[in-house]
């Protein structure tokens, strides 16, 4: 039986290319199936919703997931929404958090490093193995 992993990918739309590349890597991985519960960039809650509505939407999506992935680039330390996603993941739902160091990144976010259950490099096999190890 093949498992379908329920994943929330925490990211900044300012750095959306990393999110896109990550989903492409996961999708291309043979014998690995996942459902992405991340809030899509074109979701109207980003542009017409309130901060509270976005927080609640993120909370509902994380609630359904078996693991939360977060880009561990330095920008993560300064993003209030990523801070909220880390808080929801760890404090509200006790979800496993997998930090992914972006390709070529020399610095790792202290927010991610201090909260991640595991930290992996930008490598499909490492990411998939960690998801399989940590997902609820």
What Å distances lie between residue 26 and 21, 33, 36, 69, 127, CA to CA? 9, 8, 10, 12, 8
Q: What is the mean pLDDT of residues 104-125?
A: 90
Sheet with 33-36, edge to edge strand ranges = 33-36, 4-10, 67-71, 97-100, 118-120
Q: Which residues of 11-31 are buried (b: 16+ CB within 10 A; e: fewer)?
A: bbeeeeebbeebbebbeeeee
What is residue 95's predicted lDDT score, i.e. its pLDDT? Answer: 98
- Domain range list for the chain: 4-134
Which is more confident, 109 or 124?
Answer: 124
Threshold 0.75, pTM exceeds = yes
CB 131 within 8 A of CB 5: yes
CATH of domain 4-134: 3.40.50.9200
pLDDT for 39-92, tens place per residue? 877 765 666 678 898 899 899 999 999 999 998 877 665 677 888 999 999 999
What is the arithmetic mean of pLDDT over 1-9?
92
DSSP 3-state of 98: strand
Helix axes 51-63, 80-87, angle to 10 degrees: 40
Lowest mean per-residue pLDDT among 32-41, 70-79, 103-112: 70-79
Say what the pLDDT of residue 16 is: 63
How far is Cα of residue 88 from the mean position of the Cα atoms in its chain? Answer: 12
8 pLDDT more than 90: yes
The better pLDDT of the pair 101, 95 is held by: 95
């Amino acid at each position: 039986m093949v498992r379908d992993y329920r994943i929330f990918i925490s990211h900044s739309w300012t750095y959306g290319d990393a999110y896109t590349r990550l989903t492409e890597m996961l999708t291309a991985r043979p014998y690995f199936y996942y459902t992405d519960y991340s809030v899509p960039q074109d979701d109207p809650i980003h542009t017409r919703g309130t901060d509270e509505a976005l927080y609640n939407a993120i909370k509902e999506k994380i609630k359904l997931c078996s693991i939360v992935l977060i880009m561990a680039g330095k920008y993560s330390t300064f993003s209030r929404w990523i801070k909220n996603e880390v808080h929801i993941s760890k404090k509200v739902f006790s979800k496993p958090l997998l930090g992914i160091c972006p390709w070529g990144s020399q610095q790792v976010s202290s927010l991610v490093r201090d909260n991640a259950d595991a930290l992996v490099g930008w490598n499909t096999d490492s990411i998939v193995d960690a998801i399989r190890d940590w997902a609820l």
